């Protein structure tokens, strides 16, 4: 059983592009409902905001399904949305997979980009507290950690504090604590009463006996628009067959992950460097949050998303979907899907 290669800034998933492009086009032409025509650009560069378990379909595609569609894809992993957005704005990427906040910032900066496929609905943050803290009200007079001010972790934390009738910066101080691996040390040293955590650190903290105050899924919404594929509008116009092939591989990768749990867990161990037990937990948590049809979360959950962004000053009102997403591929799923 083949495994995905290590993917890094310089990593390249290489496959004999010429022969594979022809094979992929032939395979696509045989699929019922697939639009005819050759792949315009079989070699692609895909930027990821960070290495993360929620990118499991990308890692599965690198292991198996891009090759079947005649694609050779270079994956470049960055250190957050700001870096991958700069690369997209500078034209050094064909595609990116990043947060909706990053996409909104690009559009607000008049960059000619659009999201074109979503379906990453992970609401996967959690708030962990020192063992003596048993309720949100116990945080009064203390400090809670977020990654950086203005970040999604900051926005979510302020929202959940207000939900529990706690005034941010008045009842509970908010501290920039860096990534989860750093904030857990601040928790253990007593400098923080609580902190928002991502995987796998949230599980490490729980295993150490820290209190799970709440989860994003239960405190905010069970679905969250975590990531979307992004491209420049001209790329989507010029390379529709390439995008269809890429998305067929993406859908096939999700289905492969569902069908072969052991392979998917191994891919996470190899690519995200999780311990096997945490990779298995990440698999179980993430798999149920993938929508292979690329849709946004339900409207009632998107309403919460927009309310949080409005409170943070990112937008002044909810955006119509057409301003955020190019729907041509989501809307024709039945025509091109594997």
Give domain status of residue 24, yes or no.
yes
Look up the domain containing 311 and give its range. 17-123+224-336
Instruction: Say yes or no: 46 and 62 in one domain.
Output: yes
Distance CA 269, CA 69 (A): 25
The confidence band for 9, taking pLDDT boundaries of 50, 70 and 90, is very low
Which tens digits make up the pLDDT trace of 53-101? 999 999 999 999 999 999 999 999 998 889 999 999 999 999 999 999 9
Q: Among the residues of 39-99, which ranges form H helices?
A: 56-60, 66-68, 81-89
d(CA 279, CA 156): 25
Which of 197, 219, 241 is the last residue before a domain boundary? 219
Examine the pLDDT at 330 and tell me if it is beyond 80. Answer: yes
pLDDT band at 244 (very low <50, low <70, confident <90, very high): very high
262-312 per-position pLDDT tens digit:
999 999 999 999 999 999 999 999 999 999 999 999 999 999 999 999 999
Closest CA to 211 of 142, 115, 262, 268: 142
Query: Is 324 inside any structural domain?
Result: yes
pLDDT at 179: 87
Residues 111 and 229 in one domain: yes
Say yes or no: 95 and 237 in one domain.
yes
Is residue 9 one of the residues assigned to a domain? no
Say whether both 42 and 73 belong to one domain: yes
Confidence of residue 181 (pLDDT cuts 50, 70, 90): confident
Residue 5 lies in a domain: no
Q: Of 219, 239, 265, which closes a domain?
A: 219
Residues 111 and 233 in one domain: yes
Task: Evaluate the omega torsion of the peptide bond into residue 200 and state whether it is cis, within 30 degrees of 0.
Answer: yes
Same domain, 111 and 183: no
- The separation between CA 40 and the C-alpha centre of its own chain, rounded to angstroms, equals 27
Q: What percent of the chain has pLDDT over 90?
A: 85
* Cβ atoms of residues 117 and 294 within 8 Å: yes
SS3 280: helix
Can you give the pTM of this predicted structure?
0.87
Distance CA 56, CA 264 (A): 8
Higher pLDDT, 179 or 174: 174
Q: 231 and 318 share a domain? A: yes
Mean pLDDT of 191-214: 96
pLDDT at 31 over 50: no
Interval 150-159: pLDDT, tens: 999 999 999 9
CA distance 121 to 145: 24
Q: Are residues 316 and 235 in the same domain?
A: yes
In this structure, what CATH number is given to the domain that contains residue 164?
3.40.190.10
Residue finishing a domain among 199, 219, 239: 219
Residue partners of 69: CB distance under 8 A and separation at least 6:
24, 27, 28, 39, 245, 246, 248, 249, 252
- In whole angstroms, give the CA distance from residue 40 to residue 231: 15
Q: Which two tokens stand for residue 235?
A: 């790329």
**3 inside domain:** no
- Say whether both 176 and 42 belong to one domain: no
Residue 231 has pLDDT above 80, yes or no: yes
Number of domains in the chain: 2
Buried b (16+ CB within 10 A) or exposed e, 121-142: bbbbbbbbbbeebeebebbeee
> Is the domain of 51 the same as that of 198?
no
Interatomic CA distance for residues 108 and 314, integer angstroms: 9
What is d(CA 132, CA 116) in angstroms, rounded to the nearest whole number?
A: 46
Domain membership flag for residue 141: yes
Q: Is residue 282 assigned to a domain?
A: yes
Burial of 11 (0-12, 13-18, 19+ CB in 10 A): middle
Identify whether 7 is part of a domain. Answer: no
Q: What is the pLDDT of residue 36?
A: 56
Do 288 and 143 belong together in one domain?
no
Instruction: Report how far residue 286's alpha carbon sits from residue 257's, in angstroms, rounded to the nearest whole number.
Output: 11
Cα radius of gyration rounded to whole Å, the chain: 20
207 and 250 fall within a common domain: no
């Amino acid at each position: 059983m083949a495994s995905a290669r290590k993917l890094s800034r310089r990593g390249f998933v290489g496959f004999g592009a010429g022969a594979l492009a022809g094979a992929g086009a032939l395979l696509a032409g045989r699929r019922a409902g697939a639009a005819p025509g050759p792949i315009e650009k079989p070699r692609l560069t895909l930027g990821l905001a960070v290495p993360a378990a929620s990118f499991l379909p990308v890692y599965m595609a690198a292991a198996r399904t891009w090759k079947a569609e005649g694609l050779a894809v270079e994956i470049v992993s960055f250190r957050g949305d700001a870096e991958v957005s700069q690369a997209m704005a500078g034209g050094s990427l064909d595609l990116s997979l990043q947060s909706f906040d990053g996409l909104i910032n690009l559009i607000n900066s008049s960059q000619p980009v659009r999201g074109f496929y979503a379906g990453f609905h992970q609401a996967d943050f959690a708030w962990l507290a020192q063992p003596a803290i048993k309720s949100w009200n116990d945080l009064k007079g203390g400090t809670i950690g977020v990654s950086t001010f203005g970040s999604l972790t900051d926005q979510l934390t302020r929202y959940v504090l207000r939900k529990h009738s706690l005034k941010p910066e008045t009842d509970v101080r908010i501290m920039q604590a860096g990534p989860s691996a750093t904030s857990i040390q601040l928790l253990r040293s007593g400098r923080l009463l609580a902190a928002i955590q991502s995987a796998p650190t949230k599980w490490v903290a729980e295993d150490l006996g820290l209190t799970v105050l709440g989860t994003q899924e239960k405190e905010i919404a069970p679905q969250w628009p975590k990531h979307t594929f992004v491209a420049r509008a001209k790329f989507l116009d010029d390379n529709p067959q390439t995008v269809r092939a890429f998305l067929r591989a993406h859908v096939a990768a999700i289905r492969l992950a569902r069908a072969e749990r052991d392979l998917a867990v191994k891919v996470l161990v190899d690519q995200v460097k999780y311990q096997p037990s945490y990779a298995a937990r990440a698999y179980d948590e993430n798999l149920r949050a993938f929508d292979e049809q690329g849709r946004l979360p339900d409207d009632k959950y998107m309403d919460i998303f927009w309310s949080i962004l409005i409170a943070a000053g990112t937008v002044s009102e909810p955006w119509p979907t057409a301003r955020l997403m190019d729907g041509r591929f989501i809307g024709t799923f039945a025509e091109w899907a594997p």
